[in-house]
Amino acid sequence: MENLFEKGMINLAHAAVTEGVNGPGRRFTVWAQGCPRHCGGCFNPDLIPFVEKTLVSPLALAARALSSEIDGITLSGGEPFDQAGVLSEFIRAVKTARPAMTAIAFTGYEIEELQKNGGEAPKLLDALDLLIDGPYEEKKPCRDNLRGSKNQRIIPLTPEGEALALKISSSGTPEVEISISKEGDVIISGFPSPELAFALRKKLSPGG
Ligand code: SF4
């Protein structure tokens, strides 16, 4: 779970402000590039390869988040915990500037693995308010409370995370959201069925 790219830099697939599908309120959502899990039916297969995308420093990404009208930040992927050190610095920088900001992360690891494995994962856990853990299991579909499959858990890590979990549990089924990043990337988030995700990707790809 170490960063394979330039030391001190986040390997960013995309970043955009989303509303609802990545946690309560308006959230600056960061998609990390690279994931070791290879879950069947992954909604973001383009984010699995450990290839260099946009390298950005934690402070530069925090400045970008802070220039947006947001209620919090969310880490998604790809796998945020494979870039745990730099992403924890990013969250700390945002929270230092705006202490009321909350931080959520989706991870394909289970929290017990993250706590046991050491490395930089505990630093990122310490910076978060809420974790949605576990790999996507295609055979256990689930479309409530930001979980893609029933094995995944919503785990509050702070009192603010408890409040977020309450909001999530009363918010019903999330929809699909299509965002466009500053770089012009089209990002599909939420929990589309595999068929809908495929059709959307096809339609939105150049020449689709
Ligand atoms: S953990 Fe998430 S990003 Fe990684 S392969 Fe599984 S579904 Fe895809």
Check whether 207 has a pLDDT greater than 60.
no
Which pLDDT tens digit goes with each residue over 70-82? 999 999 989 999 9
According to DSSP, the β-strands at 10-20 and 130-133 are: unpaired
CATH of 10-204, picked from 3.40.50, 1.20.950, 3.20.20, 3.30.1370, is: 3.20.20
Residue 194 — very low, low, confident or very high, per pLDDT cuts 50/70/90? low
48 C-alpha vs ligand 1 centroid, how far in Å?
7
* The residue to which tokens 């295609």 are assigned: 138
Shortest-distance atom of ligand 1 to CA 106: 2
Instruction: Give the separation between CA 149 and CA 138, rounded to whole angstroms.
Output: 7
Which pLDDT tens digit goes with each residue over 114-124? 999 778 999 99
Which pLDDT tens digit goes with each residue over 127-159? 999 999 999 998 998 877 788 899 999 999 999
Residue 32 — very low, low, confident or very high, per pLDDT cuts 50/70/90? very high
Residue 63 — very low, low, confident or very high, per pLDDT cuts 50/70/90? very high
Sorted by where each begins, the domain ranges of the chain are 10-204
Orientation of helix 58-66 relative to helix 84-97, angle to 10°: 40
Q: What percent of the chain has pLDDT over 70?
A: 85
109 lines ligand 1 (CB under 6 A): no
Which residue's CA lies nearest to atom 8 of ligand 1?
42
- Best residue among 1, 11, 42 to mutate for probing ligand 1, ranked by most atoms within 8 Å of CB: 42
38 C-alpha vs ligand 1 centroid, how far in Å?
6
Residue 187 — very low, low, confident or very high, per pLDDT cuts 50/70/90? confident
Asked if 43 and 192 touch (Cβ cutoff 8 Å), the reply is yes
Instruction: Give the separation between CA 98 and CA 9, rounded to whole angstroms.
Output: 22
Which residue's CA lies nearest to atom 1 of ligand 1?
108
39 lines ligand 1 (CB under 6 A): yes
38 lines ligand 1 (CB under 6 A): yes
* The residue to which tokens 């599908």 are assigned: 21
Is pLDDT larger for residue 53 or for residue 4? 53
Q: What is the pTM of this model?
A: 0.87
What pLDDT is stored for residue 117 in this prediction?
76
152 lines ligand 1 (CB under 6 A): no
Contacts of 109 (CB under 8 A, 6+ apart): 79, 81, 121, 133, 134, 135
